[in-house]
Amino acid sequence: MNLEKLIPADVPPEKKGEFLAHLQETTNGTGRLMLFAGDQKVEHLNNDFYGPGIPLEDNNPEHLFKIASKAKVGVFATQFGLISRYAPDYKKIPYLIKLNSKTNIIPYSAKDPYSQQWIEVEEAIEFARYSGINLQGFGYTVYLGSEHEHSMLTEAANIVHTAHKHGYLAVLWMYPKGNFVKDEHDPHLIAGAAGVALCLGADFAKVKVPYKDGKFIPELLIEATVAAGNCGVLCEGGKKIDERTFLQELYDQIHIGGTRGNGTGRNIHQRPLEEAIKMANAIYAITCEDKSVDEAIKILEA
């Protein structure tokens, strides 16, 4: 893929080299992004880190940083504060700073969600400069269909543009949620969300996996990946499932559905460290090294 064609016009001429370098590093030159998602400590509180079937070490937030520092990842996406607490020991991790988050305490049926921006892009860039972390870009969640979507759309547009002005990538989590959203896995709705991410200028859109009758069919993604244009579509990883099933779905998302990567959290970090590293490497192999499912499985079995 010619990565230069993916440089948006709002990246200033003097920043195009930096933007291209970020895109090259995070995608291994493929234009596909392997996003290791570590933002669930806010989104799901401690539900994803402690409980039956989850190794005790996952309850320690440093587990995320150990994985991200030793495995192959495109970016490690998590909140600014979490990064600042562990940055002194993990500066080389390719970070994507998540600029907003909300908990799941208030159900969506009770109140439409609004996830407000926590800090400004410029503040995070300044932090990256004096702390020496390897900052690659910024992330933000938009809840389409919420009565507050206008505020989130405005914040998202400004985040994307400001990130680009400074030569950084911008990834938007595009999740339809609220009282008027009947099926957040509806393929047509997901395609619409991907198209909105493109209109906001995002480089990548992280979306829900489309289902028909409760089943994933990779062809259902084609509407979304076409609607997203040259904005890359990433599917969320979801709950932890069997390794081969997960890797096969990932392969099909890319090679049948036309996605340009994935955003995976629980299917990586809900494992002991060495297993988590192997799983991340297997996901990276399919996403950014064009490996087959069988080749990825061999990484797990090594």
Catalytic sites, residue numbers = 175, 206
DSSP-based three-state secondary structure for 83: helix
Tell how strand 33-37 and strand 261-264 pair up. Answer: parallel
Could you tell me which of 159, 181, 162, 184 has the C-alpha nearest to residue 172?
Answer: 159
Alpha helices in the chain (DSSP H): 16-27, 40-43, 62-70, 80-86, 121-131, 149-165, 187-199, 222-227, 243-255, 266-269, 273-288, 293-301
Rounded CA separation 173/138 (Å): 11
Contacts of 179 (CB under 8 A, 6+ apart): 108, 109, 112
Inter-CA distances, 33 with 24, 203, 234, Å: 10, 10, 8
The answer to whether the beta carbons of residues 190 and 210 sit under 8 Å apart is: yes
DSSP-based three-state secondary structure for 27: helix
Inter-CA distances, 233 with 12, 18, 59, 82, 210, Å: 24, 22, 30, 26, 12
Direct distance between the N- and C-terminal alpha carbons of the chain, in angstroms, rounded to an integer: 31
- Backbone φ and ψ for 128, nearest 5 degrees, come out as -60, -35
